[in-house]
């Protein structure tokens, strides 16, 4: 990574908290999946079927 790229990324990352707070950018929704490791196969099929959109899969262990 060049110094220019690093400087640009540093400046952007300093702005992220305010962008999230103001609603200018929003994190992906969380989709709680069941089955822990057993549920991964179902989650992969869900993604393959094109059903995943702006969501983040979360598994409780």
**Prediction pTM value:** 0.49
Rg (CA), the chain: 17
Q: Secondary structure of the chain in the HEC alphabet?
A: CCHHHHHHHHHHHHHHHHHHHHCCCCCCEEEEECCHHHHHHHHHHHHHCCCCCCEEEEECC
pLDDT in tens, 3-61: 999 999 999 999 999 999 999 998 888 988 877 777 788 888 888 999 888 888 888 77
User: Domain boundaries in the chain?
Assistant: 3-59
């Amino acid at each position: 990574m060049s110094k220019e790229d690093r400087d640009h990324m540093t400046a952007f990352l300093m702005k992220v908290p305010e962008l999230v707070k103001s609603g200018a950018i929003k994190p992906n929704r969380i989709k709680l999946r069941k089955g822990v490791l057993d549920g991964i196969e179902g989650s992969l099929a869900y993604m393959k079927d094109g059903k995943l959109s702006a969501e983040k899969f979360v598994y409780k262990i």
